[in-house]
């Protein structure tokens, strides 16, 4: 692959973009609307720094919002400047911090081989701490406590500070858990996601010389999606750029959609206050969307108060109108989307992967999945089912985490009896008690099981075998190529064997997932020779939802609007356009959260290149209840001249067929109520006692005096209402 010189790189930017990409003398803010090339400028700017020899690749830091975006950026820069791209730090905030802490964690009392706890590990730890502290988990559900700790961390409030501020029972409880949780994490040599940021900040604040080293090192810092930075990310950026002040941030205040996770729009709006000497560049030309889509988006966003006004224009054609359908029911909405997708593919040459369906919350995907299955539309869900969250994958990763870091008690607890080896809860309780009393890691207690009172002879023998196995594996870890080692772990721990013996359909699926994991490991180590197990584990724990999305696949993408940030698709459907769904009912009572909802709508609309569909449904059936909603107020933000309203007679025959299949069952469910009297062809009269959703469609439970209670599949049951 030939690398390119500065001039040919610059030829692919317009004059404003060029100006931004070539400005290297201090802080730079690129504040511009969607699709104007912000990410492109950032990418090209980094390439130019390398191509011109102005910066050593290892001294450039580029921050993206997801790992996937980082990979895309690296790929593009590689195409522009060749293998030199490899040395550039391109990653998310979390991954960059993890990388720094791998070198420096010892200063904070952690080992360099610390493990990263994900949501589930976190919850387990909160649970354990609460149990140890004898707390009432009914009154203070661990999930809630975890969320409050997370919130505190996002606001950079540490356990001590939190304790000082605690007033009522709830916050006092959380404060005690928070403190003990952090102690436990340190003891287990583990950090959660937020700790990655907070510990890096602590490192820099405690060790000025270390900070200075990294300030010196990163002479050019670039941050994409800056509008969604939270306080700790903001702090990090300020610390790191404090010396050179060569900080380039790009973003769009109209696309701030993460305030619910602590992001603060002021970070971008007040950039010029933080860096008075900053140069500000605005980009106004949109390269992504047709004129119709762009104009509609401009109208949506113009209704937001207090924004920095910016108008986008495009050279693209006017394009087709935005199609809008407000269907009588959710099933008809889904059937319309499916039949429209089939039409676009068959008649207009779009590929499935050109098409995306966005919704407000994950749970909305279900009706679309059902219809897509019936209509043979290939689809994939981003964020719905996460590979690395599957039990068997997490179990095996826990083995690896533990082998790498035996002080990690959470992982040890997860695997010690998985697969079953006769080490029961009671034995574990004795061991944990012992480890607490002696102030030693759980693993140490397991090794000393002989001295632990209460652990019987049989359990001792089993623990002894387990210790031997783990110690042997840990020796093997050094000798074997890692993918082979992984397979050895799967075999020798009996994990695969247990699944094979189970022989169920589900176990087969789990085995397939483990094969997939072995494949992922082989792929990883082939791509990163010389990296160790820790690098692989880090990779797996940092894979955000979005990263499982692979655009080579020929499938329609289903995802939430939040996940769609930064992406673009030729065809976009935004579904569930109803008041209460989108805007979400929880956001409708405050002005600020309504504005965020509107920005989310803007993000959705501006993902579309050629065609945009908005759809909603007047009714949705939920377990036999019918929920009625008005159309989304956001529809009124778009002037009617851009909309083409779809009415039902325009549907093709397939739409009608699909609608009928799905709709018949749903309508039927909605037509019955608990307490209704029904007549069955064989069993005679009875009374409805429940209506539910089964695997194959709605079900009804009827109590017949003649034969008792019966569960029937509504679609096929020979019953009718009487009376
Ligand atoms: P968002 O706000 O959605 O993140 P963005 O401002 O980052 O958008 P990009 O994704 O960088 O915009 O660019 C949008 C599209 O326009 C991309 O397909 C990009 O390749 C294209 N594009 C940007 N600038 C140019 C240009 N000068 N010439 C040709 N295509 C361009
Ligand atoms: Mg972008």
CATH code, domain with 397: 1.10.486.10
Sign of the dihedral defined by the CA atoms of residues 23, 29, 34, 40, in that order: positive
426 and 505 belong to one structural domain: yes
Rounded to an integer, what distance in angstroms lies between the CA atom of residue 458 and that of residue 427?
A: 10
Closest ligand to C-alpha of residue 30 is 1
Q: Is the peptide bond before 647 cis (omega within 30 degrees of 0)?
A: no
Calculate the alpha carbon distances from 530 to 67, 527, 535, 540 in Å. Answer: 21, 10, 10, 17
Q: H or E segment at 720?
A: strand 719-721
Give me the residues of the chain with pLDDT under 50, please: 1, 623, 649
401 and 477 belong to one structural domain: yes
Rounded to an integer, what distance in angstroms lies between the CA atom of residue 715 and that of residue 288?
A: 46
Q: Where are the beta strands (DSSP E) in 586-654?
A: 608-622, 625-628, 643-645
Q: Coil, strand, or helix at residue 349?
A: coil
Give the pLDDT confidence score for residue 655 in this predicted structure: 60
Domain count, the chain: 5
* Interval 448-464: pLDDT, tens: 999 999 899 999 999 99
Atom of ligand 1 nearest to the CA of 36: 6
Which of 256, 285, 287 should be mutated for ligand 1, with most atoms under 8 A from CB? 287
Give the pLDDT confidence score for residue 121 in this predicted structure: 81
Atom 11 (ligand 1): residue with closest C-alpha? 37
Give the pLDDT confidence score for residue 399 in this predicted structure: 96
Rounded to an integer, what distance in angstroms lies between the CA atom of residue 627 and that of residue 73?
A: 44
Residue 131 annotated in active site? no
Q: H or E segment at 447?
A: helix 442-447
Q: Report the number of secondary-structure helices (H) and strands (E) in the chain.
A: 28, 21
Atom of ligand 1 nearest to the CA of 42: 11
Residue 453 annotated in active site? no
Closest alpha carbon to 124 in 185, 198, 189, 186 = 185
415 and 532 belong to one structural domain: yes
List the alpha helices (DSSP H) in 528-569.
533-542
Q: Is residue 1 part of a domain?
A: no
Neighbours of ion ligand 2 (CB under 5 A): 38-39, 566
274 and 404 belong to one structural domain: no
Closest ligand to C-alpha of residue 606 is 1
From 220, 254, 283, the end of a domain falls on 283
Atom 13 (ligand 1): residue with closest C-alpha? 37
Sign of the dihedral defined by the CA atoms of residues 201, 203, 204, 206, in that order: positive
Q: Is residue 520 part of a domain?
A: yes
Atom 24 (ligand 1): residue with closest C-alpha? 37
540 and 411 belong to one structural domain: yes
Q: Is residue 698 part of a domain?
A: yes
- Residues at CB less than 6 angstroms from ligand 1: 12-14, 17, 34-40, 252, 255, 287-288, 566, 568, 606
Q: Are 357 and 561 in contact (CB under 8 A)?
A: no
Atom of ligand 1 nearest to the CA of 14: 27
Tokens of 691: 């209506």
Atom of ligand 1 nearest to the CA of 567: 3
Q: What are phi and psi of 35, to 5 degrees?
A: 70, 15
Q: Containing domain of residue 156, as a range?
A: 115-188
Residue 591 annotated in active site? no
Q: Are 153 and 198 in contact (CB under 8 A)?
A: yes
Q: Are 393 and 609 in contact (CB under 8 A)?
A: no
Q: Are 232 and 197 in contact (CB under 8 A)?
A: yes
Burial class (CB in 10 A: 0-12, 13-18, 19+), 260: exposed
Tokens of 67: 């790992």
Closest alpha carbon to 571 in 371, 342, 405 = 342
Residue 180's CATH number:
1.10.10.160
Ordered DSSP codes for 485-535: HHHHHHHHTTHHHHHHHH--HHHHHHHHHHHHHHHHHHHHHHHSTT--HHH
Q: Coil, strand, or helix at residue 126?
A: helix
Q: What are phi and psi of 31, to 5 degrees?
A: -115, 110
Atom of ligand 1 nearest to the CA of 252: 2
Other CB atoms within 10 A of residue 414 CB: 21
Atom 19 (ligand 1): residue with closest C-alpha? 37
Tokens of 65: 């919002």
Q: How far is the CA of 32 from the centre of ligand 2 (A)?
A: 10
213 and 89 belong to one structural domain: yes
Atom 30 (ligand 1): residue with closest C-alpha? 287
Q: What are phi and psi of 571, to 5 degrees?
A: -125, 130
Q: How far is the CA of 39 from the centre of ligand 1 (A)?
A: 7
Rounded to an integer, what distance in angstroms lies between the CA atom of residue 93 and that of residue 62?
A: 9
Closest alpha carbon to 718 in 688, 694, 684 = 684
Rounded to an integer, what distance in angstroms lies between the CA atom of residue 63 and that of residue 226?
A: 9
Annotated catalytic residue, options 225, 547, 596, 637: 225
Q: What are phi and psi of 43, to 5 degrees?
A: -65, -50
Residue 38 annotated in active site? yes
239 and 333 belong to one structural domain: no
Q: How far is the CA of 240 from the centre of ligand 2 (A)?
A: 23
Residue 447 annotated in active site? no
96 and 121 belong to one structural domain: no
Angle, CA of 538, 542 and 543, to the nearest 5° = 120
Residue 161 annotated in active site? no
Q: Are 416 and 423 in contact (CB under 8 A)?
A: yes
Find tokens 């099981």 and name the residue.
Answer: 449
Give the pLDDT confidence score for residue 707 in this predicted structure: 81
Tokens of 58: 């290892």
Give the pLDDT confidence score for residue 648 in this predicted structure: 59
Which of 37, 80, 298, 354 should be mutated for ligand 1, with most atoms under 8 A from CB? 37
Q: Are 339 and 652 in contact (CB under 8 A)?
A: yes
Q: How far is the CA of 566 from the centre of ligand 1 (A)?
A: 10
Q: What is the CA radius of gyration of the chain?
A: 29
Q: Are 549 and 557 in contact (CB under 8 A)?
A: yes
Other CB atoms within 10 A of residue 181 CB: 22
Size of the chain in residues: 723
Closest alpha carbon to 338 in 698, 656, 668 = 656
Which residues are 719's β-sheet partners?
Answer: 680
166 and 248 belong to one structural domain: no
416 and 532 belong to one structural domain: yes
Calculate the alpha carbon distances from 361 to 90, 384, 546, 577 in Å. Answer: 30, 10, 15, 12
Q: How far is the CA of 287 from the centre of ligand 1 (A)?
A: 6
Q: How far is the CA of 13 from the centre of ligand 2 (A)?
A: 15
Give the pLDDT confidence score for residue 622 in this predicted structure: 58
Angle, CA of 474, 476 and 481, to the nearest 5° = 120
Which of 288, 356, 603 should be mutated for ligand 1, with most atoms under 8 A from CB? 288
Q: Are 117 and 125 in contact (CB under 8 A)?
A: yes
Calculate the alpha carbon distances from 266 to 38, 63, 251, 311, 717 in Å. Answer: 19, 19, 12, 21, 59
Closest ligand to C-alpha of residue 608 is 1
Find tokens 């017949």 and name the residue.
Answer: 704
126 and 205 belong to one structural domain: no
Residue 40's CATH number:
3.40.50.300
* Interval 563-577: pLDDT, tens: 899 999 999 999 999
Residue 699's CATH number:
2.40.10.170
Angle, CA of 329, 335 and 336, to the nearest 5° = 90
Q: Is residue 156 part of a domain?
A: yes
Give the pLDDT confidence score for residue 603 in this predicted structure: 97
Q: Is residue 107 part of a domain?
A: no
Which of 11, 17, 40 should be mutated for ligand 1, with most atoms under 8 A from CB? 40
Q: Is residue 646 part of a domain?
A: yes
Calculate the alpha carbon distances from 253 to 256, 304, 310, 360, 572 in Å. Answer: 5, 11, 10, 20, 22
Q: How far is the CA of 308 from the centre of ligand 1 (A)?
A: 20
Annotated catalytic residue, options 43, 255, 619, 659: 255
Closest alpha carbon to 359 in 222, 197, 496, 564 = 564
Calculate the alpha carbon distances from 464 to 131, 428, 468, 635 in Å. Answer: 28, 14, 6, 67
Q: Coil, strand, or helix at residue 318?
A: coil
437 and 527 belong to one structural domain: yes
Give the pLDDT confidence score for residue 654 in this predicted structure: 55
List the alpha helices (DSSP H) in 551-688.
591-605, 653-671
Atom of ligand 1 nearest to the CA of 566: 4
Q: Is residue 211 part of a domain?
A: yes
Q: Are 229 and 223 in contact (CB under 8 A)?
A: yes
Which residues are 704's β-sheet partners?
Answer: 708
Q: Coil, strand, or helix at residue 247?
A: strand
Q: Is residue 598 part of a domain?
A: yes
Q: How far is the CA of 344 from the centre of ligand 2 (A)?
A: 27
Annotated catalytic residue, options 16, 17, 18, 39: 39
From 546, 575, 610, the end of a domain falls on 546
Atom of ligand 1 nearest to the CA of 287: 16
From 188, 208, 226, the end of a domain falls on 188
């Amino acid at each position: 692959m030939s690398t390119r010189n500065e001039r040919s790189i610059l030829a692919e930017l317009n004059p404003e973009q060029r100006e931004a990409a070539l400005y290297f003398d201090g802080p730079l803010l690129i504040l511009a609307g969607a699709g104007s090339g912000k990410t492109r400028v950032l990418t090209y700017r980094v390439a130019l720094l390398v191509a011109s020899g102005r910066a050593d690749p290892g001294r450039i830091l580029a921050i993206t919002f997801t790992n996937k975006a980082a990979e895309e950026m690296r790929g593009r820069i590689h195409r522009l400047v060749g293998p030199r791209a490899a040395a550039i730090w391109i990653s998310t905030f979390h991954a960059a911090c993890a990388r720094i802490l791998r070198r420096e964690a010892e200063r904070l009392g952690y080992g360099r081989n610390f493990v990263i706890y994900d949501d589930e590990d976190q919850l387990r730890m909160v649970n354990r701490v609460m149990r140890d502290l004898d707390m009432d988990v009914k009154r203070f559900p661990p999930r809630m406590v975890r969320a409050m700790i997370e919130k505190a961390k996002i606001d950079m409030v540490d356990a001590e500070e939190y304790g000082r501020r605690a007033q009522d029972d709830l916050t006092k409880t959380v404060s005690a858990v928070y403190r003990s949780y952090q102690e436990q994490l340190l003891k287990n040599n583990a950090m959660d996601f937020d700790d990655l940021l907070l510990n890096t900040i602590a490192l820099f604040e405690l060790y000025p010389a270390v900070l200075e080293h990294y300030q010196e090192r990163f002479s050019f810092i670039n941050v994409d999606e800056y509008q969604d930075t939270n306080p700790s990310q903001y702090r990090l950026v300020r610390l790191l750029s404090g010396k050179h002040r060569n900080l380039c941030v790009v973003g769009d205040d109209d696309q701030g959609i993460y305030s619910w996770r602590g992001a603060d729009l002021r970070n971008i709006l007040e950039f010029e206050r933080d860096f008075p000497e900053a140069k500000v560049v605005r980009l106004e030309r949109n390269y992504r969307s047709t004129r119709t889509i762009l104009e509609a988006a401009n109208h949506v966003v113009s209704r937001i108060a207090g924004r920095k006004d910016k108008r986008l224009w495009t050279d693209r054609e006017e394009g087709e109108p935005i199609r809008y359908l407000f269907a009588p029911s959710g099933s008809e909405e889904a059937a319309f989307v499916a039949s429209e997708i089939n039409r676009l593919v068959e008649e207009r040459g779009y590929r499935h992967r050109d098409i995306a369906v966005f919704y407000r919350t994950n749970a909305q995907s279900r009706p679309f999945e059902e219809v897509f299955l019936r209509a043979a539309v290939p689809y994939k869900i981003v964020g719905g089912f996460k590979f690395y969250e599957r039990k068997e994958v997490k179990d095996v990763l826990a083995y690896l985490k533990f082998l790498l870091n035996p002080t990690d008690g959470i992982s040890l607890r997860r695997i010690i009896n998985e697969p079953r080896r006769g080490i029961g809860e009671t034995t574990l309780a004795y061991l944990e008690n012992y480890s607490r009393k002696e102030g030693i890691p759980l693993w140490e207690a397991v090794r000393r099981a002989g001295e632990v009172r209460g652990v019987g002879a049989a359990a001792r023998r089993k623990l002894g075998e387990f210790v031997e196995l783990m110690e042997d594996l840990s020796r093997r870890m050094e000798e074997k190529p890692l993918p082979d080692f992984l397979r050895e772990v799967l075999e020798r721990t009996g994990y695969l064997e247990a699944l094979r013996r189970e022989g169920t359909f589900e176990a087969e699926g789990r085995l397939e997932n483990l094969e997939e994991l072995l494949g992922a490991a082989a792929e990883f180590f082939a791509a990163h020779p010389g990296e160790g197990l820790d690098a692989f584990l880090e990779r797996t724990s940092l894979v955000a939802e979005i990263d499982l999305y692979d655009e080579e696949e020929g499938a329609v993408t289903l995802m939430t609007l939040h996940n769609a940030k930064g992406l673009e698709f030729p065809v976009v459907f935004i579904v569930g356009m109803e008041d209460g769904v989108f805007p979400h009912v929880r956001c409708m009572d405050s002005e600020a959260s309504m504005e965020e909802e509107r920005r989310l709508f803007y993000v959705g609309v501006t993902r579309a290149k050629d065609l945009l569909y908005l759809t909603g449904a007047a009714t949705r059936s939920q377990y036999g209840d019918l929920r009625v909603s008005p159309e989304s107020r956001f529809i009124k933000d778009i002037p009617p001249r851009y909309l083409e309203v779809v009415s039902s007679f325009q549907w093709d025959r397939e739409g009608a067929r699909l609608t009928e299949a799905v709709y018949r069952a749903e309508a039927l469910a909605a037509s019955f109520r608990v307490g209704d009297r029904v007549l069955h062809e064989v069993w005679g009269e009875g009374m409805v006692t429940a209506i539910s959703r089964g695997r194959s469609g709605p079900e009804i439970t009827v109590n017949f005096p003649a034969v008792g209670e019966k569960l029937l599949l509504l679609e096929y049951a020979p019953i009718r209402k009487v009376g």
